[in-house]
A and B are shown apart, each in its own frame.
Chain A
Amino acid sequence: MFNNAQEFFNTLPLIIMGGGIVISLLIEIYSDKNKVILPWFTALLFLAVGLHSLFYTNDVSIVMQNMLATGGNVNIFYAIFTLGAAVVTLISIDYIKKYDMYFGEYYLILQTSVLGMMLMAAAKDLFVIFLGLELMSISFYILAGMNRKRAKANEASLKYFLLGSFATGFIVYGIALIYGSAHTTSIDFITTNFAGLTSNLLFVAGVLLFLIGFSFKIAAFPFHMWVPDVYEGSSTTVAALFSTGGKSAAFSAIIASLFALFNGPSGNVFTPYFAVISVLSMFYGSIVAIAQVNIKRMLAYSSISHAGYLIIGLAAGNHDAIAGVMFYLGAYTFMNLGAFGIVSLVEGKNETNLDINSYAGLASKKPFLAALLSILMFSLAGVPPFAGFFGKYYIFIAAIESKLTWLAILGVISSAISAYFYIRIVVLMYFKPATNDFQIETSNSAMLGIITSVIIVILLGIFPGSFLDLITRFI
């Protein structure tokens, strides 16, 4: 398995994560106090893996018979997944108690889904991608239906399962065709011999199916239909994970498998495909989001349009663009988690306050919460000096470098449209009187998660250079 101790050390994030899952299982089974221990153990596990990954980004290597990559960008993706998941854990603690759906499995499955994401980011082989994808997706299907007393949650789970497996079917079929024509599943081999392989029609079909399958997972138009329903139906905290970790993982898999091709000798052959779906996703997401009154659906459509901006980076495909995509994923993860976290607090005991008009007058009820949500909304809209602005900036600049100026211009127009529904929330909170009177119960752990996210959003906005430099070192 490992040729030397260094390789073992480099694989530690995955090993710790896997070991943590086993320990969590034991805690869940044998400890009487698992309700208290397990959530915090999970949060700390995520934090430990995340920080470990960030500290050892320099340990670049390929381990396990060319199956896994370690160090560099893989570790940065690890950090995005695990630190994001740590925030999800924090906002979940009181949330799942509030809904009376405390099951130990919740945290366990959260951990397995993150392990799946990490495998996807680290993959050097199509099978590893598939393994990670399925580990993540199956965990997600279960998480979506965790609140099993609610019909909506069950519906979301089933719908997610059906459409998700459909997408996985595409990916498996694509991998099968690629294997059939290339006689290997090693990503390095495929990418180096890409030009020769494209003469084989089956190979091209395989790559296309692979791409379409992942377009599902990143929720790009026209493969987005599951997103609003699933986000609305499943618990808010879980939807937060889907929209951030799930999306980042799918992007990490695309980058892991295709990045070498983007700058290959034949140029980026995927540009037309990505350009088309990015424009469609951006505009569809931002325009439809305007018409939404349910805040979770609004965030769902907003996540479709964010997928669109991210795909601009893939369409550009140069080094700066990929660095921009990774920056954006980091920024987007935390601003979206913060926003979902606040939604999970405001929605009340029985999802009574999901209507955006529930946010009217929030500034006078909970001034601090309103200020945090305003920062997050401004960041999502791409207003400096918050993280969201620099995410978009780096991607648009990279698009211009790749002579895709028209795409960058469309991106700016789309983000101008999207500013409308983000700022609308701020306007409601500050300039409209409260229409209905309900109490908002904040929880300390959730506030910790939300404040952490906001601090990261602000720090990434004020010091974007430090994070970007870390990324660009390895691209």
Chain B
Amino acid sequence: MTETGIINISLAILFLPLLGFIVTLLLGKKIKSIYLFEVFILTVTLFAAIFVAFIKLSYYVDDRIIAEIQWFKLSETISIKLGFLIDNMTVIMLFVVALISALVHYFSIAYMKDDPRYNRYFAYLGIFTFSMNGIVLTNNILMMYIFWELVGLSSYLLIGFWFEKKSASDAGKKAFIVNRVGDIGMFAGILILFLTYNTFSFESIFHSIAAGKLPFNSDFWLTMTGILLFMGAIGKSAQFPLHVWLPDAMEGPTPVSALIHAATMVAAGVYLTIRIFGLLTADAMMFIAIIGMLSAFIPATIALTQNDIKKVLAYSTVSQLGYMVMALGIGAYKFTFFHLVAHAFFKACLFLGSGSVIYAMHHEQDIRNMGGLRKKLPLTYATFLIATLAISGIPLTSGFHSKDGILASSFAFGSLTGNWIFAIVGFLVALMTAFYMFRLVIITFHGQPRDQHKYEHAKESPFVMVMPLIVLAGLSIFIFYTPNPLNADEGWFISKWLPAPVLSAPNNTRFDFMQETAGAVTHNPSHGTITYSESYTEAMHGAHNPAMILALVLALSGMLLAYIFYQWKKINVDKLTQAIKPLYTFSLNKWYFDELYDKTFVAGTIGFSKLIGWFDAKIVDGIINGAGNLTRLLSVFTGAFDRIVIDGIVNFAAYLSGFIGLIFRRIQTGKVQTYLILVIFSIIILLFLFND
């Protein structure tokens, strides 16, 4: 297998789901079972992804494979190219996307069984997978943007899949519009990059930055470019303050929530930020870290009080994504990606598990009507519990390692810069996460059934639904990432598969500990310059054990609290909520973000649009009508000139009198002469003009 082979298989991985989409969509109405084709295509894609990941990680582990073709030329120097960048992150992400997508396909076979638009649903899953693979494979920001919008589109289609429900179609629109806000920033960032570097390729942009070429020759604009590009991630990864669309997106079918709104698409924002990590300055990273911190904290507090099983998971997703973004902002590059992968598996497991519960409870989503399901759904419960342990960061799970890495990094960041806020918030969120996740598990699966009727009818889901849960729960165990259950640093995922980031932002704009002089070793000098300094490695070592112990204590106490509150009922929850009523309602109402946006942005936009409407109707239309009348006058004049002078008056009459004109046309013998005379005149004028 050569590098060309890897590229060819990647091409197949990219385009197979598109083929599935086209075939399923076109034949969907005619052939009832065409969805099987889509499922088959995804299975093939999954095997191809496993194969390519295996080859890449075993034989080409140190290579960055880049393939580019010219799309079209804008001028001699500027041409637009399409291309792939296949490094280890790419193949790991391809595997994650293909696996979860395939599992969601299987799950949906049973889950969506009675839907009237069954085939169309599978077609949409196909185009989503295609677009997501495009984001993963691209080597340039333009293609990233194209596929970015395509995943946005497929997300819109799938959130509003049950568009008969007003809430679903509203949620689709909300997701689409809120994402536009972020994308406009990303677009501006892309424009700045293209204007400065005349290329979209990450590689060439980093190279130019390392060579000292900056947008508008200023550090400030490099920072701004990073922040603008990151705005795309704020929208897509549902970061504060644009996180409001994700909980509403739960109106879509649950397998879709697992695939798009938990595991893959929302992680695209983090993936984008990882890809542009090299150009981020310290200021931009600080901005990213603060956004991530707020996004980790606020939704975690909201998740404490929600009663809809999917809403809890949705807020937990936002919170975990905030975690990753914060980690990236404080320089924990490798652990961000680790957490991204680990989170994709356990969160997909949790969502599919909730889908299994909802399926068993006949579309009941309120956890207050559940309880005791442990006995009815043993496999769902077991897998859900494993994933919950993982997200809470209990040892022997993937989440323990990735979270521990992030917390250790925040610790190290604190000791290096003296900025401890990220560490504090990080640990607080870890505590809350363990609490609300176990609250969810206990209320749903433990105790006594609250709705006896539904409980009686609940039964374990069919094999196609349980199998994905088992696979995903299995992948939440540490052994796939590292052989050491307590420390992932030496494991193959962190030490072998993920290279240190290549930084290209100018030295003086970086954090102190990321500067070249801070005891650094030069790494990979062909593109960019260096990696992390030794002082950072030192700090990480020092932070590792305290952070791990503290994280474990907090996670266990979160768990314990949940047990005290909901399992053993030592403390009356209702009384407690009465005691802190303002806080409780604040959290229950999601910090009133929706209301706030309604009052400010939505109402503001409506008011503004009324103003614009008035302006448009009165002033712009006035001008346009004036101009239009003028143009019309002009065109009427030229038209009349054409008709009267050239076609002759007879012909003009013919236009006016419709069919009578046909008779007149027969006697237009003089017309050709008129034409010829005019031609002679024109030639004379032209000769006069060019007689030199």
Q: Which A residues lie at the B interface, using CB under 8 A?
A: 151-152, 155, 159, 162-163, 166, 208, 212, 222-223, 225-226, 228-229, 272-273, 276, 284, 287-288, 290-292, 390, 397, 417, 463-465, 468-469
B73 and A287: CB pair below 8 A?
no
Query: Of B367-375, B458-466, B633-641, which binds chain A?
Result: B633-641
Residue in A228, A276, A291 whose beta carbon sits within 8 Å of that of B689 in the complex: A276
* Chain B residue contacts of A465, Cβ below 8 A: 70-73, 79
A397 and B665: CB pair below 8 A?
no
**Residue-wise interface mask of B (650-684) relative to A, using a CB-CB cutoff of 8 A (1 in contact, 0 not):** 00000000000010011010011001101100110
A417 to B74, CA, bound (A): 24
B678 and A225: CB pair below 8 A?
yes
B73 and A291: CB pair below 8 A?
no
Closest chain A residue to B81 by CB distance?
A465
B638 and A212: CB pair below 8 A?
no
Given contacts A223-B679, A273-B690, A464-B72, 13 further A-B contacts (CB under 8 A): A151-B662, A151-B666, A155-B665, A159-B672, A208-B690, A212-B686, A229-B647, A276-B686, A288-B639, A291-B636, A291-B639, A463-B71, A469-B73
B635 and A155: CB pair below 8 A?
no
Closest chain A residue to B76 by CB distance?
A320
A469 to B683, CA, bound (A): 38
Closest chain A residue to B72 by CB distance?
A465
A290 and B631: CB pair below 8 A?
yes
Residue in A166, A284, A288, A469 whose beta carbon sits within 8 Å of that of B676 in the complex: A166
Q: Contacts A222-B682, A465-B72; is A163 near B672 (CB within 8 Å)?
A: yes
Closest chain B residue to A152 by CB distance?
B665
A208 and B687: CB pair below 8 A?
yes
* Chain A residue contacts of B668, Cβ below 8 A: 155
B672 and A468: CB pair below 8 A?
no
A151 to B647, CA, bound (A): 17
Answer whether residue B632 sits at the interface, using C-beta atoms and an 8 A cutoff: yes
A288 and B635: CB pair below 8 A?
yes
Residue in B639, B666, B678 whose beta carbon sits within 8 Å of that of A155 in the complex: B666
A225 and B72: CB pair below 8 A?
no
A166 and B70: CB pair below 8 A?
no
Does more than half of chain A's interface fall in helix, strand or loop, or is it mixed? helix
A163 to B633, CA, bound (A): 30
A222 and B690: CB pair below 8 A?
no
Residue in B647, B679, B687, B689 whose beta carbon sits within 8 Å of that of A166 in the complex: B679
Q: Which of B128-162 contact A (CB under 8 A)?
A: none
Write the nearest CB–CB distance from A345 to chain B, whole angstroms: 23
* Chain A residue contacts of B642, Cβ below 8 A: 228, 288
Answer whether residue B417 sits at the interface, using C-beta atoms and an 8 A cutoff: no
A468 and B71: CB pair below 8 A?
no
Q: Contacts A287-B635, A397-B75, A465-B71; is A151 near B665 (CB within 8 Å)?
A: yes
Interface hub of A151, A291, A464 (most chain B Cβ within 10 A) = A291
Q: Which 10 pairs show the lowest CB-CB distances between chains A and B?
A: A465-B72, A291-B639, A222-B682, A225-B675, A464-B72, A290-B635, A291-B635, A287-B635, A162-B672, A288-B638
* Chain A residue contacts of B486, Cβ below 8 A: none
A72 to B527, CA, bound (A): 41
A226 and B675: CB pair below 8 A?
yes
A45 to B193, CA, bound (A): 50
A166 to B668, CA, bound (A): 18
B638 and A284: CB pair below 8 A?
yes
A390 to B72, CA, bound (A): 10
Q: Contacts A152-B665, A463-B71; is A223 near B682 (CB within 8 Å)?
A: yes
* Chain A residue contacts of B73, Cβ below 8 A: 465, 468-469
**Residue-wise interface mask of B (500-531) relative to A, using a CB-CB cutoff of 8 A (1 in contact, 0 not):** 00000000000000000000000000000000
A152 to B664, CA, bound (A): 11
A104 to B21, CA, bound (A): 45
* Chain B residue contacts of A390, Cβ below 8 A: 72
* Chain A residue contacts of B676, Cβ below 8 A: 163, 166
Write the nearest CB–CB distance from A238 to chain B, whole angstroms: 18
Answer whether residue B286 sits at the interface, using C-beta atoms and an 8 A cutoff: no
Closest chain B residue to A289 by CB distance?
B635
Write the nearest CB–CB distance from B460 to chain A, whole angstroms: 46
* Chain B residue contacts of A292, Cβ below 8 A: 639
Q: Contacts A276-B689, A468-B73; is A287 near B678 (CB within 8 Å)?
A: no
A415 to B635, CA, bound (A): 15
A272 to B642, CA, bound (A): 25
* Chain B residue contacts of A272, Cβ below 8 A: 689-690
Q: Contacts A468-B72, A468-B73; is A287 near B634 (CB within 8 Å)?
A: yes
Q: List 25 A-B contacts (CB under 8 A).
A: A151-B662, A152-B662, A152-B665, A155-B665, A159-B671, A162-B672, A163-B676, A166-B676, A208-B690, A212-B686, A222-B678, A225-B678, A272-B689, A273-B686, A276-B686, A288-B639, A290-B632, A291-B635, A390-B72, A463-B72, A465-B70, A465-B72, A465-B73, A468-B72, A468-B73
A390 to B75, CA, bound (A): 12
Q: Contacts A155-B665, A163-B672; is A212 near B683 (CB within 8 Å)?
A: yes
Answer whether residue B191 sits at the interface, using C-beta atoms and an 8 A cutoff: no
* Chain A residue contacts of B686, Cβ below 8 A: 212, 273, 276
A10 to B639, CA, bound (A): 48
* Chain A residue contacts of B631, Cβ below 8 A: 287, 290, 417
Answer whether residue B646 sits at the interface, using C-beta atoms and an 8 A cutoff: yes
Interface hub of B638, B675, B687 (most chain A Cβ within 10 A) = B675
A151 to B663, CA, bound (A): 9
A18 to B472, CA, bound (A): 69
**Residue-wise interface mask of B (11-52) relative to A, using a CB-CB cutoff of 8 A (1 in contact, 0 not):** 000000000000000000000000000000000000000000
A163 to B75, CA, bound (A): 41
Q: Which of B63-85 contact A (CB under 8 A)?
A: 70-75, 79
Interface hub of A226, A284, A290 (most chain B Cβ within 10 A) = A290
A283 to B642, CA, bound (A): 14
Q: Which of B257-305 contact A (CB under 8 A)?
A: none
A464 to B635, CA, bound (A): 34
Write the nearest CB–CB distance from A321 to chain B, whole angstroms: 13
Closest chain B residue to A269 by CB distance?
B690
* Chain B residue contacts of A468, Cβ below 8 A: 72-73
A464 to B662, CA, bound (A): 45
A222 to B676, CA, bound (A): 11
Write the nearest CB–CB distance from B72 to chain A, whole angstroms: 3
A40 to B690, CA, bound (A): 50
Write the nearest CB–CB distance from A220 to chain B, whole angstroms: 10
A193 to B71, CA, bound (A): 41
Write the nearest CB–CB distance from B22 to chain A, whole angstroms: 14
Write the nearest CB–CB distance from B402 to chain A, whole angstroms: 40
**Residue-wise interface mask of B (178-220) relative to A, using a CB-CB cutoff of 8 A (1 in contact, 0 not):** 0000000000000000000000000000000000000000000
A222 to B662, CA, bound (A): 26
* Chain B residue contacts of A229, Cβ below 8 A: 647
Closest chain A residue to B651 by CB distance?
A229
Write the nearest CB–CB distance from A137 to chain B, whole angstroms: 16
* Chain A residue contacts of B690, Cβ below 8 A: 208, 272-273
Closest chain B residue to A170 by CB distance?
B683
* Chain A residue contacts of B672, Cβ below 8 A: 159, 162-163
**Residue-wise interface mask of B (615-653) relative to A, using a CB-CB cutoff of 8 A (1 in contact, 0 not):** 000000000000000011011101100100011000000
A222 to B642, CA, bound (A): 11
* Chain A residue contacts of B79, Cβ below 8 A: 465
A272 to B662, CA, bound (A): 41
B646 and A225: CB pair below 8 A?
yes
Write the nearest CB–CB distance from A138 to chain B, whole angstroms: 18
* Chain B residue contacts of A276, Cβ below 8 A: 686, 689
* Chain A residue contacts of B679, Cβ below 8 A: 166, 222-223, 225
* Chain B residue contacts of A155, Cβ below 8 A: 665-666, 668
Write the nearest CB–CB distance from B647 to chain A, whole angstroms: 8
A375 to B73, CA, bound (A): 23
Write the nearest CB–CB distance from A226 to chain B, whole angstroms: 7
A152 to B663, CA, bound (A): 10
* Chain A residue contacts of B671, Cβ below 8 A: 159
B675 and A163: CB pair below 8 A?
yes
Interface hub of A159, A226, A463, A465 (most chain B Cβ within 10 A) = A465
